[in-house]
């Protein structure tokens, strides 16, 4: 396994992650036999093990494996079930006890990030078109987590504020910015009367080209809440491109304008959600890796100047 993948799983899941990594090879072999799969090349790994497979009927597919206790895996499976293949890859099989998903493979599977920066508007419109396909009213018996649960991120930050400062001494988070994001988050959630099924992390690299539809979403987190939360992850993505440019402000402002027009959302609301989501992403980086990635903080700082 790549060292970075092993480190990430261990950082995020602790001992449960290390135990899971030790048994990963046996788990892949077991699923290949039980689901009658031919294992192909694995994809680039981050938080989960993802590999190409071929079913016994010759259909290309993908197996995604994660630590079974990870709530995001269950959320992904439920979200894909609710999407029903509209705007997202289809869920073919799910084994919750083993943290295993068998997924439709998007073909040719070129990420939307390939359009950036030479056609950034086309990339933004592509992500917006997928969001329109995904959004639907959350059913009364929906098993997905409500967006309100993400408030726990702020609670954990304040509980560990002293330790966070020590761990992140070179790039401390501004506590006033965290408090502002926390307040804005509560206000935005409370103001969102309509509850829809949310992807939860729809950015350029989670939108792939396909034949069944022009673009299909992958890697859903699965939440329910206001639409605006789902529309802003692409403001600080793709990280490689955004890291390399000094002019993040004009890029972010233009993307907000395009998204507002494509999704019929208010510019001020999108800026507010963008600020909140960027700060949440920074806090998750602090939790998982001991320090936030600087890009979401750069975008949050710019959006803060636009909030008034």
What's the rounded Cα separation, in Å, for the pair 112 and 131? 14
> How many CA within 13 A on the CB side of residue 77?
21
For every residue of 58-71, DSSP letters joined together read S-EEEEEE--TT-H
What's the rounded Cα separation, in Å, for the pair 269 and 116? 25
The tokens for 129 are 């078109």
Known catalytic residue at 201: yes
Other Cβ atoms closer than 10 A to 191? 11
Closest CA to 81 of 104, 57, 54, 52: 104
Residues in the chain: 308
Query: 10 phi and psi, to 5 degrees?
Result: -70, -40
* Secondary structure class of 245 (helix, strand, coil): coil
Catalytic pick among 201, 205, 219, 230: 201
What's the rounded Cα separation, in Å, for the pair 228 and 232? 7
Contacts of 91 (CB under 8 A, 6+ apart): 77, 80, 81, 101, 102, 103, 104
Catalytic site positions: 201
């Amino acid at each position: 396994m790549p060292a970075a993948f092993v480190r990430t799983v261990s950082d995020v899941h602790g001992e449960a992650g290390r135990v899971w990594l030790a048994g990963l090879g046996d788990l892949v072999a077991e699923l290949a036999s039980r689901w009658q799969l031919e294992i192909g090349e694995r994809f680039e790994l981050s938080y989960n093990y993802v590999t190409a497979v071929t079913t016994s009927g010759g259909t290309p597919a993908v197996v995604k494996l994660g630590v079974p206790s990870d709530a995001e895996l269950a959320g992904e499976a439920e979200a894909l079930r609710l999407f029903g293949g509209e705007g997202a890859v289809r869920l073919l099989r799910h084994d919750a006890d083993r943290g295993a998903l068998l997924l439709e493979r998007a073909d040719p599977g070129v990420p939307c990030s390939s359009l950036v920066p030479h056609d950034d508007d086309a990339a933004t419109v592509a992500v917006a078109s997928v969001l329109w396909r995904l959004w639907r009213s959350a059913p009364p018996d929906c098993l997905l987590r409500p967006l309100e649960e993400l408030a726990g991120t702020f609670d954990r930050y304040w509980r560990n504020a002293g330790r966070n400062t020590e761990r992140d001494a070179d790039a401390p988070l501004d506590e006033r910015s965290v408090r502002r994001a926390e307040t804005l988050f509560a206000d935005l959630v409370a103001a969102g009367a309509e509850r829809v099924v949310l992807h939860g992390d729809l950015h350029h690299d989670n939108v792939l080209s396909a034949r069944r539809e022009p673009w299909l979403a992958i890697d859903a987190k699965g939440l329910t809440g206001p639409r605006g939360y789902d529309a802003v992850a692409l403001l600080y993505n793709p990280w490689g491109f955004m890291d390399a440019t000094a002019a993040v402000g004009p890029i972010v402002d233009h993307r907000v304008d395009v998204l507002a027009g494509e999704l019929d959302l208010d510019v001020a609301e999108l800026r507010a959600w963008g600020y909140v989501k960027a700060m949440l992403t920074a806090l998750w980086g602090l939790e998982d890796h001991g320090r936030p990635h600087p890009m979401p903080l750069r975008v949050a700082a710019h959006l803060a100047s636009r909030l008034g």
